[in-house]
Amino acid sequence: MEQLRNADSAARLMMRIIRKGFELILVHGNGPQVGNILIQVEEAITKVPPLSLDICVAQTEGSMGYMLEMALTNQLRKAGLDKEVITILTEVIVDRDDPAFANPTKPVGPFFSKYRALALMKEKKWRMVEDAGRGYRKVVASPRPIDVVPKDAIGKLVREGKIVVAAGGGGIPVFINGRGLLQGVEAVIDKDYASALLAAELKVDLYIILTEVETVYLNFGKKNQRPLPVLRLREAKKYLEQGQFPAGSMGPKIRAAINYIEGGGSEVLITCAEKLGSALLRRAGTRIVP
């Protein structure tokens, strides 16, 4: 029920964008949902075969896409707007030789006891790390996306006026094997990087990143913090190099914005959900431009 309520809240928020006349591609996160599936997998390990991580991502793309699709459709009907919403299970290609595979760092799934963790490391060759005294967790690679497989189909649907839910959770991670075929891989893709790639490849007019803060700040959290209503590309890169945007906070979002602009994009808007309406009127948020 909580996920359905969250989907409804997201749908009402997206209506602000739709009413502005934009066509919409919606990319969502899925971290807690994939974690829940992995917990279910562990609890049922003696009864049903386990699922690989790429399959878990695909499952959440489908389930969350369904909830968002239904919520958006209902909001459109209430508004008297005749638009279809379509969810696309989205395979996203990564490089099997990406350095991230040699040094997995992304914790996923349940916490294990040391005994169970050692058994899994021996049996399944998993990499495990101790997590702040709460137990051991599996860590997987988080490689950079290099291509979105169904990008042409997504673009065609958007041009036809459909609202598309795509690349959920960063997309289903796949690589091209030695025979030139797609193959799933145990990894997770950062949704900011995946959405930036998709936005650049489809040449969207406005790439919006919703986060927990109203705007991007210099010296965030300090007495001399300063909001940045507009950031030019060279400024964004300079501040990122100076360490203004940490990896565990605003860093991936700024990097995604830079990737989109360098890929030919025109404008990025970073803000929080509560200020989206004002940000679309240029009264809040941070805009990153070439």
Q: Is residue 198 part of a domain?
A: no
Of 158, 147, 253, 164, the C-alpha closest to 205 is: 158
Say yes or no: 20 and 73 in one domain. Answer: yes
Say yes or no: 36 and 158 in one domain. Answer: yes
CATH of the domain at 1: 3.40.1160.10
Q: Which two tokens stand for residue 249?
A: 């906070």
Residue 244, pLDDT score: 94
Say yes or no: 244 and 281 in one domain. Answer: yes
End-to-end Cα, the chain, rounded Å:
42
The residue among 128, 158, 189 that closes a domain is: 189
- Encode the chain (290 residues) as per-residue pLDDT tens digits: 889 999 999 999 999 999 999 999 999 999 999 999 998 988 898 899 889 999 999 999 999 999 999 999 999 999 999 999 999 999 999 999 999 999 998 888 888 889 888 998 998 888 989 887 789 999 999 999 999 999 999 999 999 999 999 999 999 999 999 999 999 999 999 999 999 999 999 999 999 999 999 999 999 988 899 999 999 999 999 999 999 998 878 999 999 999 999 999 999 999 999 999 999 999 999 999 99
- Domain tally, the chain: 3
Say yes or no: 2 and 122 in one domain. Answer: no
| Segments forming the whole domain that contains residue 276 | 205-290
Q: Is residue 245 part of a domain?
A: yes
Say yes or no: 250 and 109 in one domain. Answer: no
Q: Is residue 199 part of a domain?
A: no
Say yes or no: 135 and 266 in one domain. Answer: no
Q: Is residue 200 part of a domain?
A: no
Say yes or no: 131 and 64 in one domain. Answer: no
Say yes or no: 268 and 215 in one domain. Answer: yes
**H/E/C letters for each residue in the chain?**
CHHHHHHHHHHHHHHHHHHCCCCCEECCCCHHHHHHHHHHHHHCCCCCCCCCHHHHHHHHHHHHHHHHHHHHHHHHHHCCCCCCEEEECCEEEECCCCHHHHCCCEEEEEEECHHHHHHHHHHHCCCEEECCCCCEEEEEECCCEEEECCHHHHHHHHHCCCEEEECHHHCEEEEECCCCCEEECCECCCHHHHHHHHHHHCCCCCEEEEECCCCCEECCCCCCCEECCEEEHHHHHHHHHCCCCCCCCCHHHHHHHHHHHHCCCCCEEEEEHHHHHHHHCCCCCEEEEC
> pTM of this prediction?
0.91
Say yes or no: 24 and 84 in one domain. Answer: yes
Say yes or no: 94 and 31 in one domain. Answer: yes
Q: Is residue 130 part of a domain?
A: yes
